[in-house]
């Protein structure tokens, strides 16, 4: 099966039902585009969020229009079309239109600078770029320096001179599905790695990967037709989109929330009757902090229908989940592990029935296999630390145009993840750390995630990252960059005293009070921290935030 067939089925069988809702509660409501067939609902209350919704039938029609626009411009099967949009109702119809045309979708990170946009367009051999108003200034800087890109489509009003009005030209195109034959072996999408070791790598997937992620997600979280999924993370990332694929398979509604404030999340869950919410660690932390300090009053929200909260994209501190369950005891909890190279979340899965194993990432997900191996690729004994490898229908085909990097991580169908892990006596897998993040101090291996999890149990600490700093005697020492909760003060001595429960060799030798940078998917940007604190003199520690 091809994933576009699911969209067509829902358009045929429940076309008038709502598929997607966009909610924008911010003050910046000057949205640049509204398709004429959207049901636009604006409240007379100026404090109400800006809201749009899209039916399954119109979703499919818009995807067909964009597919036919691409074909009318000479695009052919296998050509690449990049998407540079913020989360909005236009995003997914454009994505599915690309697939329906037989082209390869290339979602792009909305935080990319002009240089990174140019780099990724060239790396992926992009033929067409679709971009929105938020990116005009960045595109201005490179529009005359991307010769491989044949067309620039603008999704909005009054676009720059070097672009074409996407919505205007779509209006002349047929709403019927284009006659393009697709198979599961055809190339479907290129996603980009997080770029934690420099500029990102291009990750090539076929249609089999996409449909397998639908089945894995729906098997794990049991989406039914009456569920409502709240999607907050960016759609360019495999995590957000592949969690939404469970809604696509079940034909259930999804809500795209443009904002992460705790009160916005809880208000949207209430008003849209959301039943499933996927959060990143910082957002869950912010919600709990807002409840604790009185900024959020839970009695003002209707949350009874909210059945599942799940977290992924990064190591999850057990202390956070224990705290969450005290506030929301009726929520089922789950975590999924995955990489863009494994088509996003789910290759390892905890399962809602395994809350007693909070801290583990779980076992092999539906349709997946796992193993933990040593440096020779041999399976390690249970309990020993090694590199996690996964195998399944969602493993990437390769790093596009990078056979050397592909050969490093792909071995006989197995994807070597670069994550260090161990397996307990019950077969549950625990992440230890990224292979490249391991700190070697005096001949001992330190795994920063273990130290970070411990430090997060301190009630003064909002977030923490542990990195290695050069040391002449020990090679490296562990440094903890600590982000304190709002209005809280602490000293290095207090943190040192708290760490006395750790074995001596695991205690951080340096404490730095500063913000902890994270990327849009919630991962700590440790290369940024290494550059900041290893490249020169350390920033003076601050004892208050």
Q: For residues 545 and 504, which has the higher predicted lDDT (pLDDT)?
A: 504
From 21-35, 359-373, 430-444, the region with the lowest mean pLDDT: 21-35
Amino acid 4: pLDDT? 97
Distance CA 215, CA 169 (A): 35
Return the closest-CA partner of residue 121 out of 82, 93, 177.
82
Amino acid 7: pLDDT? 98
Amino acid 453: pLDDT? 84
Q: For residues 363 and 197, which has the higher predicted lDDT (pLDDT)?
A: 363
pLDDT tens digits along 380-421: 999 998 999 999 999 999 999 999 999 999 999 999 998 889
Return the closest-CA partner of residue 388 out of 367, 358, 366, 368.
368
Amino acid 529: pLDDT? 86
Candidate ranges 259-263, 281-285, 311-315, 521-525; pick with highest mean pLDDT: 259-263
For 157-204, the three-class secondary structure string (H helix, E strand, C coil) is CCCCCCCEEHHHHHCCCCCCCCCCCCCCCCEEEEEECCCCCCCCCEEE
Strand 253-257 and strand 18-24: the pairing is parallel
Amino acid 535: pLDDT? 62
Amino acid 100: pLDDT? 98
pLDDT tens digits along 204-252: 999 999 999 999 999 999 999 999 999 998 899 888 889 999 999 999 9
Distance CA 520, CA 516 (A): 13
Share of the chain above pLDDT 70, in %: 90
Per the confidence metrics, is the pTM higher than 0.75?
yes
Distance CA 355, CA 337 (A): 15
Distance CA 340, CA 357 (A): 25
Amino acid 218: pLDDT? 95
Q: For residues 28 and 533, which has the higher predicted lDDT (pLDDT)?
A: 533
Amino acid 442: pLDDT? 60
Amino acid 34: pLDDT? 41
Mean pLDDT across 269-296: 92
Question: What is the average pLDDT score of the chain?
Answer: 88
From 2-11, 39-48, 277-286, 488-497, the region with the lowest mean pLDDT: 39-48
Whether 324 shows a pLDDT value over 80: the answer reads: yes
Task: pLDDT band for 538, please (50, 70, 90 cuts).
Answer: very low
Task: pLDDT band for 296, please (50, 70, 90 cuts).
Answer: very high
pLDDT tens digits along 139-151: 999 999 999 999 9
Amino acid 32: pLDDT? 38
Amino acid 197: pLDDT? 45
Amino acid 521: pLDDT? 62
Amino acid 441: pLDDT? 75
Amino acid 49: pLDDT? 60
Amino acid 545: pLDDT? 34
Amino acid 38: pLDDT? 37
Residue 244 main-chain phi, psi, to 5 deg: -65, -25
Task: pLDDT band for 200, please (50, 70, 90 cuts).
Answer: confident
> How far from 218 is each of 245, 246, 346, CA to CA, in Å?
8, 4, 10
pLDDT tens digits along 149-180: 999 999 998 899 999 999 999 999 999 999 99
Whether 540 shows a pLDDT value over 50: the answer reads: no
Domains present along the chain, CATH in parentheses: 3-29+46-230 (3.40.50.12780), 438-534 (3.30.300.30)
pLDDT tens digits along 10-35: 999 999 999 999 999 874 444 433 44
Mean pLDDT across 452-458: 88
Amino acid 238: pLDDT? 86
Q: Which residues pair with 189 in a beta bridge?
A: 105, 205
Mean pLDDT across 71-84: 97
pLDDT tens digits along 507-532: 899 999 999 988 766 678 887 888 88
CA angle 98, 104, 106 (to 5 degrees): 90
C-beta of residue 452 within 8 angstroms of C-beta of residue 502: no
From 381-385, 498-502, 525-529, 537-541, the region with the lowest mean pLDDT: 537-541
Amino acid 518: pLDDT? 82
Amino acid 315: pLDDT? 66
């Amino acid at each position: 099966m091809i994933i576009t067939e699911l969209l067509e089925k829902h358009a045929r069988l429940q076309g008038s039902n709502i598929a997607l809702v966009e909610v924008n509660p911010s003050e910046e409501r000057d949205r640049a585009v509204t398709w004429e067939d959207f049901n636009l609902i604006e409240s007379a209350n100026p404090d109400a969020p800006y809201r749009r919704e899209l039916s399954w039938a119109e979703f499919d029609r818009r995807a067909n229009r964009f597919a036919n626009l691409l074909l009318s411009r000479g695009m052919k099967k296998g050509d690449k079309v990049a998407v540079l949009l913020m989360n909005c109702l236009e995003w997914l119809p454009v994505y599915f239109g690309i697939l329906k045309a037989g082209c390869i979708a290339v979602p792009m990170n909305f935080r990319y600078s002009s240089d990174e946009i140019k780099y990724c367009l060239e790396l992926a051999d992009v033929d067409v770029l679709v971009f929105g108003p938020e990116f005009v200034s960045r595109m201005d800087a490179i529009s005359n320096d991307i010769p491989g890109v044949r067309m620039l489509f603008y999704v909005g009003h009054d676009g720059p001179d070097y672009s074409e009005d996407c919505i205007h030209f779509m209006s002349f195109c047929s709403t019927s599905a284009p006659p393009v034959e697709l198979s599961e072996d055809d190339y479907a999408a290129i996603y980009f790695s997080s770029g934690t070791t420099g500029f990102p790598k291009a990750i090539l997937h076929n249609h089999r990967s996409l449909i397998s992620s639908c089945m894995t997600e729906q098997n794990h979280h049991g989406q039914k037709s009456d569920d409502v999924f709240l999607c907050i993370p960016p759609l360019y990332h495999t995590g957000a989109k592949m969690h939404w694929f469970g809604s696509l398979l079940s034909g259930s509604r999804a809500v795209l929330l443009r904002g992460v404030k705790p009160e916005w999340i809880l208000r949207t869950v209430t008003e849209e009757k959301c039943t499933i919410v996927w959060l990143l660690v910082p957002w869950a932390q912010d919600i709990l902090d807002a409840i604790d300090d009185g900024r959020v009053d839970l009695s003002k929200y209707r949350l009874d229908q909210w059945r599942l909260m799940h977290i992924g994209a990064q190591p999850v501190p057990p202390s956070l989940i224990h705290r969450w369950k005290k506030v929301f005891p009726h929520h089922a909890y789950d975590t999924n592990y995955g990489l863009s190279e494994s088509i996003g979340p789910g290759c390892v899965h905890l399962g809602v029935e395994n809350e007693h194993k909070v801290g583990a990432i779980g076992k092999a997900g539906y349709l997946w296999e796992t193993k933990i191996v040593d440096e020779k690729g041999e399976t390690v004994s249970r309990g020993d630390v090694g590199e996690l490898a996964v195998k399944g229908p969602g493993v990437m085909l390769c790093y596009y145009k990078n056979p050397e990097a592909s050969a490093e991580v792909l071995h006989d169908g197995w994807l070597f993840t670069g994550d260090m892990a161990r397996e307990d006596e019950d077969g549950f897998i625990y992440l230890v750390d990224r292979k490249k993040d391991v700190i070697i101090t005096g001949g001992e291996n330190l795994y920063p995630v273990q130290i970070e999890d411990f430090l997060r149990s301190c009630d003064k600490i909002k977030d923490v990252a542990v990195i290695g700093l050069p040391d002449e005697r020990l090679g490296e020492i562990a440094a903890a960059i600590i982000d304190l909760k709002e209005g809280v003060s602490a000293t290095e001595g207090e943190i040192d005293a708290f760490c006395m429960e750790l074995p001596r060799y695991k205690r951080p030798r340096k404490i730095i009070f500063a913000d902890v940078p994270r990327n849009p998917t919630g991962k700590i940007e440790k290369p940024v921290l290494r550059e900041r604190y290893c490249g020169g003199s350390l920033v003076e520690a601050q004892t208050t935030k």
